[in-house]
Amino acid sequence: MRYLLLVILLIASANIAAQNDFGGSMSIAPAGSGINIAPSGKPLNSASIFDSPKTSTGTIETTPPNSNFGKPSEFSNPGDIVRDKLNKKESDPDLLIRKNQYLGDFKTKAGKVKIIYRDHEFPDGDVIKVWVNDRVLIQGIVMEQSFGSFEIDLESGFNKIDFEALNQGTSGPNTAEFRIFDDKGTLVSSNRWNLATGFKATVIVVKE
């Protein structure tokens, strides 16, 4: 009898030790429930189903509204693209001087006209060539601060006068102011130009 009681005590001691080694009894949730049950005697961890989701402290990049992920909008107006290009061209100072400029026309009964000219900016060595009806009248004139002058005998009808920029001086563009007087000394036209090298400013005198 004593021997049987000793065996029972040894078996009971072994069961208690086994429970301590595995942290207590285990509860098993029904299969497919998706619920984790912690060992008895221990609390659920911080990721409990009753806890609110953790907020990441990292930076999340978002796409700006209407960004279309960097792709052109399907509803953009093609005319707007053309308009923007034209506006850019008109606002570009370099493009404004890199073209021929028409400075107007006038009528006169005079047999000749006198043209005076000067650099309307700081004189920096601007040089021009003068053409009349596509023939060279003056090979080269250096623009100074004070006015220089020359005369043109007019032909009946159209007289096209071109001022060609041979250079842009030391600070560009080629800049000049001119005034045209008839044979009675009456001012009939005046203007200015800003030209890149090789381009022309044109005025037309019509002799009636």
Mean pLDDT (10-residue bins), the chain, 208 residues:
64 55 47 47 43 46 49 53 51 66 93 95 92 96 94 96 94 91 94 93 95
How many structural domains is the chain composed of? 1
3 state DSSP class of 68: helix
Does a structural domain hold residue 121?
A: yes
**Contact residues for 205 (Cβ-Cβ < 8 A; gap 6+):** 105, 106, 107, 108, 113, 152, 154, 158, 159, 161, 180, 188, 189
87 found inside a domain = no
Decide if 141 is inside a domain: yes
Closest CA to 169 of 200, 128, 202, 130: 128
pTM of the entire structure?
A: 0.55
Tokens of 99: 């073209």
Answer yes or no: is 146 within a domain: yes
Q: What local confidence, expressed as pLDDT, does residue 153 receive?
A: 96
* Any domain includes 200: yes
Whether 72 is in a domain gets the answer no
> Domain containing 168: what range?
101-207
Provide the mean pLDDT of the chain. Answer: 74
Question: For the segment 9-39, what is each residue's pLDDT rounded down to a tens digit?
Answer: 666 665 555 454 444 444 444 455 444 444 4
The confidence score (pLDDT) of residue 97 equals 74
What's the pLDDT at 190?
Answer: 93
Query: What is the CATH number for 178?
Result: 2.60.40
In a domain, 198, yes or no: yes
CA dist 165 and 57 (Å) reads 65
pLDDT digits (tens, 9 = 90+) for 77-97: 555 555 555 454 444 555 567
Q: What is the 3-state secondary structure (H, E, C) of 69-121?
A: HHCCCCCCCHHHHHHHHHHHHHHCHHHHHCCCEEEEEEEECCCEEEEEEECCC
Within a domain: residue 119?
A: yes
